[in-house]
Structure formats: structure tokens, C-alpha cells
Amino acid sequence: MSFFDTIKTRGQALIGTAKFRLGLATVPLMGLVSYASAADLNTSVAPILEDVGALMVPLLALILAAIPLIIAISIIGFVLGILAAILGKLKV
């Protein structure tokens, strides 16, 4: 008997038990608990989200300040690479 066959037979035996059926009956009730505590979640998560939103503006300014430097460095590197290739072919 393969591994998957043993798992299948154990799963079928589990479905017939009373504990499994009781667990299936309590799953919808557990879902209601999360809706009941949504007000507490809103008061605890909202300040964190506001702080993350406040951090986005300086982070965007930092990224926008770094873009010209990255472009300038890449252009200088490209030009120097072309000059190095030209001088390498001349064998000076």
C-alpha cells in the first residue's frame, strides 16, 4: 500500500468520527468571533496604517532625490566604457 493510500484510508476513518463532525459545526461560529472583534482591530491597526502612510512621503522624496544621481553615474560609466573599448582597440 502506498503512502497516499494510507493517508486516504486514515482520512476516511477520521471523517466518520464525532470529533470531526463537531469541529465542522464549530467552524462557522469561529468566523463570527472575528467579526465581533473588528472594532478592536480597527482601533489598534488604524494608527499603524496612518504612521506607515506618513512614512511614504519622505521615502518618496528620498527615492526622487537619488534618481538623478543614479542616471548621472550610469551615463558616466557608459561613456567611460566606450572610451576604454576604443583605447583598448588602439593598443596605445
Q: Of 15 and 84, which is predicted with more confidence?
A: 84
Distance in angstroms (rounded) separating the CA atoms of residues 91 and 52: 57
Same domain? 48 vs 92: yes
> Do residues 62 and 90 both lie within one domain?
yes
Cα torsion 11, 15, 17, 20 to 10°: value is 100
Place of cell 493517508: 7
Q: Do residues 53 and 90 share a domain?
A: yes
Whether the Cβ atoms of residue 37 and residue 30 lie closer than 8 Å to each other = no
90 and 49 in one domain? yes
Whether residue 6 is found in the same domain as residue 30: yes
pLDDT digits (tens, 9 = 90+) for 16-57: 665 666 565 665 655 555 555 556 666 777 788 888 889 899
Host domain of residue 1:
1-36
Are 60 and 21 in the same domain? Answer: no
pLDDT digits (tens, 9 = 90+) for 73-85: 999 999 999 999 9
Q: Within this chain, do residues 48 and 91 fall inside the same structural domain, yes or no?
A: yes
pLDDT at res. 3: 72
Distance CA 32, CA 15 (A): 24
Given this model, what pLDDT does residue 50 score? 87
